Homo-oligomer: A and B are copies of this chain.
Amino acid sequence: MSVLMEIAMFPTDVGESKSRYVARVIEVIRESGLPYQLTPMATIVEGESIEELVALIPKMYHTLEAMGVKRVYSVVKFDIRPSKENRLKQKVQSVEQALQQSAKR
């Protein structure tokens, strides 16, 4: 079972720069011990159950709440495939392979 969760969470009431807040939210993910990847728009975490992944969301929010923010926005995407494992690396690889094959044609 592989569940990928892509999550962006940030305050919308604190001015233009968000990196201080985003860093604290990502610490929650890092402390979970689950494999993750930072991207310029979100963080992608892989789990073996959807339960362990959604459990991160309230923890991330409460970290921001404790920093005194008044409004928080979050966008989360899930891609769930029971028959697969270890997709944090494999998904990009399978697309890159398909790109190379179509380039050869």
Q: Which residues of A contact B (CB under 8 A)?
A: 4, 6, 8-10, 12-13, 15-16, 18-20, 22-24, 26-27, 30, 37-42, 44, 49-51, 54-55, 57-58, 61, 65, 70-83, 87-89, 91-92, 94-99, 101-102
Contacts and interface: CB of A to CB of B under 8 A. Distances in A.
Contact of A15 (B8, B13, B74): B13
Nearest to A78: B74
B72 A78 contact: yes
A9 B3 CA distance: 14
B99 A16 contact: no
Contact of A40 (B8, B27, B37): B37
A95 B26 contact: yes
Contacts of A15: 13
B76 A80 contact: no
Given A4-B41, A6-B41, A73-B73, 15 more contacts: A6-B42, A13-B16, A23-B95, A23-B98, A26-B95, A39-B44, A40-B88, A50-B57, A50-B61, A54-B57, A65-B82, A74-B78, A74-B80, A75-B77, A76-B77
